[in-house]
């Protein structure tokens, strides 16, 4: 073996020995760094996750807020509209005839408030749109007509 080669082998062996002795330190530092990285990622997620939830579109009505009824052709919505016209006729005796609900909003309370746009025909057969507000609480079999006016 050439003289320089033996010296190089000894230097490499010395460096490897030094690294193996310092390995526990490096291992501990690496473990601490990894834990810090995981903790940072968790903190970022914890902060960012609510932002994504808040920014997501709301598809269901919140309690107390008015929301558009996506399907006014739903049988129950049409039935509430027909009931509103019938209840109005009992009070006003104007002979309106229910046509159909054409738009609506609902508000979740201790029951449901409905704001409905209803097409109804008068005694002469002329259609007009009316706005009705109905409160309904299904589990107590309660329904009240809160307002009924011709739309402007």
The pLDDT of residue 50: 46
Nearest to 84 by CA among 68, 70, 96, 67: 96
Any idea which fold 66-150 has? Answer: Nuclear Transport Factor 2; Chain: A, (3.10.450)
Query: What's the alpha-carbon Rg for the chain, to the nearest Å?
Result: 37
Is pLDDT above 90 for 38? no
Is pLDDT above 90 for 140? yes
User: Rounded to whole angstroms, how far apart are CA atoms 10 and 71?
Assistant: 83
3-class secondary-structure state, position 76: helix
Is pLDDT above 70 for 12? no
What whole-number percentage of the chain has pLDDT above 90?
A: 58
User: Rounded to whole angstroms, how far apart are CA atoms 100 and 85?
Assistant: 10
Q: Which two tokens stand for residue 94?
A: 């104007």
Q: Where are the domains of the chain?
A: 1-56, 66-150
Output the average pLDDT for the chain: 78
- The least confident of 44-58, 80-94, 135-149 is 44-58
For the segment 26-48, the average pLDDT, to the nearest whole number, is 55
């Amino acid at each position: 073996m050439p003289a320089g080669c033996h010296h190089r082998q000894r230097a490499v062996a010395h460096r490897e020995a030094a690294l193996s002795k310092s390995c526990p330190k490096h291992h501990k530092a690496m473990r601490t760094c990894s834990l810090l990285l995981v903790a940072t990622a968790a903190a970022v997620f914890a902060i960012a996750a609510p932002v994504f939830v808040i920014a997501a579109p709301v598809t269901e009505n919140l309690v107390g807020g008015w929301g558009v009824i996506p399907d006014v052709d739903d049988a129950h919505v049409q039935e509430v509209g027909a009931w509103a016209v019938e209840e109005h006729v009992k009070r006003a005796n104007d002979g309106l005839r229910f046509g159909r609900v054409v738009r609506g909003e609902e508000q979740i309370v201790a029951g449901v408030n409905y704001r409905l746009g209803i097409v109804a025909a008068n005694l002469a057969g002329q259609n007009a749109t009316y706005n009705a507000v109905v409160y309904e609480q299904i589990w107590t079999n309660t329904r009240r007509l809160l307002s009924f006016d011709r739309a402007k």
